[in-house]
Each structure stands twice: as structure tokens, then as C-alpha cells.
Amino acid sequence: MKELISTRANTMIDPVFHIWGWEVSVYLFLGGMVAGMMIISGYFLYRGRQSDATCACLQLPIISATLLTLGMIALFLDLEHKKYAWRMYTTFQPGSPMSWGTWILLLVYPALIGNMLLAPPVWIARFVPVVTRWQAAVRSRPGLLRTIAVANMALGAALGTYTGILLSAFGARPLWNSAALGILFLVSGLSSAAAFVHMMAKNTWERETLAKADNGFLSLEILILGLFMIGLVTSTRVHIEAARLLLSGPYAPAFWVFVVGMGIVIPLIVQSLAVTHRIRHTPVAPLFVIAGGLFLRFVIVSAGQASHWTRMAP
């Protein structure tokens, strides 16, 4: 399966803002944020909030499907052998993270469509009138609603974790070779999604709830990021050198300023003040969180390519 990945991954990149691999970084970011949106939407559905016309769970499915499609287009652009990509759907390899991801992505769309049937966009209902009957059928079955909610939360968690495991499976890249990447990318995706929904939600309770939840996600993210670094610096020499790329090397400015400072610390302070009603809620903190999530993927993907066993070994 690895033949589908661009062979350019074997090249050394220039620090810090060389934009090789932007397609992969964008895909990982959008996939993670969609995963977070699915979990949030599924949670609201499970609580029965679909009866509230202002619930974000009614708008998120179409947004999620659009963003995920854009992410998959970005990934497709990075494939070296594009005309053979369809073969990924002719087999399932349990030992291949890419095979798992391929099928998870395929299952995500039906879950999003099931959620979308609760409030289908007007243009879809106009061109496919039967959707209106499906909407009534879904809304009248509490068991089916719970199934859709659980499916969205489960597949969202799987999608978010997969975006990190996809990189950690590459043992040749010391920076990526960590089990913490899966949970780090999942929590980061949840944080970005909570920030996005916090901005677009029309319901006051949802906005405040997601702001508080995002504070928890940001706190957890910085904890996992710390454990990720501790795991590297307490391992072999090549892993220590890989960690130095972020801590004090060529990627340190982007890591400390854009990922840690702008993406986690500043939004955490601002949103903590906002949820305690010391300052007003503004879109500044959520935008910083979303930008920080994107920078996290760019930095991890780029620095990971710069880390190498043969170049770092004594």
C-alpha cells in the first residue's frame, strides 16, 4: 500500500516553511477537524438536541462532508500513482493503517448522510423529494437516532485517531514513531472542531459548552504534547535528535510560537477568562485554535520528514 504515498517523502526538506507535503498536512488537519465535528454532532444527537432548530448538529453534517471531501482531494493530489488509488477498495489489510483509514473514510460518509437526513439542505430536498420522507422516518425513530449518534461518535473517534496512526506507522521517521500521535491528533481535532462550532453555533448554551469543552481539550492537548516529547527525549539518540528539531532546532520557532503559544496557551487563557465572564466571547481565540491545529500538522509532517535514522545515527 505504501506505493501510493509520494516518493518525495524520502527527500530532505528545508526548514522551516518549505511547503512540501502541504497536501498531507491539509488532509490530516481537515480529517481531524471533521472527526471532532462528528463526535460533537453525535453527542448533541445522543442528548436529543435535534428537536432544537438552532442545534449545530443540524448544520454540521454538510459542513463535515464538504471539508472531508476537500481533504481527500488534497490527499489524492499527493499520490504518486493516482490511477491505481481505486485498488485500495478492493482489499482490506488488517496490518496496514492506510487500509484501515481507507475503509474508515468510506464508512464516514453514510454516517454523515444519516445525520444530514435530520435537516437536509433545501437544494437537496428540492432535487430529491424522497429525502423529505426519509427525514420524517428518521426523526420518528428514537432508536435509529441513537444509532446515528453513536455511529458518528465512533467513526469520528476512529477517523481522528487514524490521522495520527498513519504517520506513527512509519518507523523510518523517528519523530513520527510514537503511539502518542494518534491521541494527540484526535484531541487536536476535537479542539479545532469545538472552536469552529463555538463560532458558528446559534445556540448560546452550545457556544458556552463548547468553549468550556475546548479549554479541556487544549489542556489535554498540551499534556499529551508534553508526554510525546518526554517519550522522544527519553528514548534512543535518534529520537532525542528528532525531538530537538522541535524543541531547539530549525522547527522550534514555528513549534513554540504557532503551535504552543498561538494554538494552545493564548486561546486557553482567553477562553478561560471568557467562560468565567471576565471578558466577552470573541472569535479571536477559536481562530487561533484552528490555526494552531493546522500549524501542528505542518510542523509534525515537515519535521518528521527531516528526522531520519541514518542521518542522525552516530
Q: pLDDT tens digit string along 55-75?
A: 999 999 999 999 999 999 998
What is the rounded (10 degree) CA torsion for 97, 101, 103, 109? 170
Give the model confidence (pLDDT) of 99-147 as tens digits. 888 899 999 999 999 999 898 888 887 888 888 888 888 888 999 999 9
- Peptide linkage before 260 cis (omega within 30 of 0): no
User: In this predicted structure, what is the pLDDT of residue 281?
Assistant: 84
Segment 146-165 shows an average pLDDT of 95
pLDDT at 261: 97
Segment 81-98 shows an average pLDDT of: 82
Nearest-angstrom CA–CA distance, 305 and 309: 11
Hey, what's the torsion of the CAs at 71, 222, 305, 95, to 10 degrees?
A: -70
| Structure confidence at residue 20 (pLDDT) | 47
pLDDT tens profile 211-269: 999 999 999 999 999 999 999 999 999 999 999 999 999 999 999 999 999 999 999 99
Residue 4 pLDDT class (50, 70, 90 cuts) = very low
**280: exposed, middle or buried (Cβ count in 10 Å: 0-12, 13-18, 19+):** exposed
pLDDT at position 138: 87
* Domains, the chain: 2-312 (1.20.1630.10)
CA distance 78 to 87: 16
Average pLDDT, rounded, for the chain: 88
Q: Note the pLDDT of residue 311.
A: 55
Residue 11 reports pLDDT greater than 70: no
Give pLDDT, residue 252. 96
pLDDT at residue 5 in the model: 39
Burial class of 261 by CB neighbour count within 10 A (0 to 12, 13 to 18, 19+): middle
- For residue 7, pLDDT over 60 is answered with no
37 neighbors 60 (Cβ within 8 angstroms) = yes
- The number of residues in the chain equals 314
> How high is the pLDDT of residue 21?
66
Stretch 169-173: mean pLDDT: 82
Span 168-177, average pLDDT: 86
How large is the average pLDDT for residues 5-29? 56
- 264 neighbors 218 (Cβ within 8 angstroms): yes
With 0-12 / 13-18 / 19 or more C-beta atoms within 10 angstroms meaning exposed / middle / buried, residue 147 is middle
The alpha helices in the chain, defined as continuous H runs, are: 22-46, 60-78, 97-116, 122-127, 130-139, 142-168, 180-200, 204-233, 237-247, 252-253, 266-275, 284-306, 309-312
For residue 52, give the DSSP letter: S
pTM of whole model > 0.85?
Answer: yes
Task: State the maximum Cα–Cα separation within the chain, in Å, rounded to a whole number.
Answer: 67
- pLDDT on residue 314: 47
pLDDT for 6 equals 39
